[in-house]
Amino acid sequence: MTAGRRFAPGDVVVRREILRGEVWFAVPTVCVADSPDLLALYLPAGAEFGFPERGAFPCGRHPWQVAGRREWRGHGKLMLHRPGEAHSVDVFWAGPPGREFAGWYFNLQDPPRRTPIGVDTLDHELDLWWAAGAERYEFKDVELLDQRLAEGRYPGMGEAIRAEGDRIAALLDAGERWWDPAWARWRPDPAWPVPRLPAGWDTVPC
């Protein structure tokens, strides 16, 4: 992760997706932990999605904007980032009733780059999902990645994206666990308000 100011627990951290040099999507998250080894961000239910009004949009508008999605729903998710890695380990919960651990989601993306308001990245479509209680993980959106590559969303990155997916799978097959399983029992601070996007979120330089 590129250098920049660190965030304190409870700070609003804007996670933006940058496509072809311009802001494509943004969402406010809450800082859970920020250290030299780990950046943990929480995306709660109700967090608003931001879609810029101006831009070239060479690959079209963000799919969630096209689908009419305006906020994150569900129990929220926790996103665990290690410096320089092209994926995050996301923690999901399910319910109602209650709030039960649902599984680990390995989200392939650009290594996050710090900005004055948060971090910039770009989702790479390809993911791995390991449901709670399942014996093995599964790949997700393999065909969708092929479609996005054909659309020109990730020029010259196809091999690297697939290689990162294979690397994660190999680590899991070898029994490697590079995140703390205790995060499955984590709960957000009930005093945290739902974060909002700050003014000018779409004009901060990438």
Strands across the sheet containing 12-19: 113-114, 118-121, 12-19, 22-34, 39-43, 77-81, 87-94, 100-109, 123-131, 138-140
Among 15, 81, 124, 140, the one annotated catalytic: 140
Give kind and range of the element (H or E) at residue 16. strand 12-19
Strands 118-121 and 123-131: unpaired
Q: Is 77 a catalytic residue?
A: no
Other CB atoms within 10 Å distance of the CB of residue 9: 13
Task: Decide: 3 and 34 in contact? Cβ < 8 Å.
Answer: no
User: Which residues form the catalytic set?
Assistant: 140
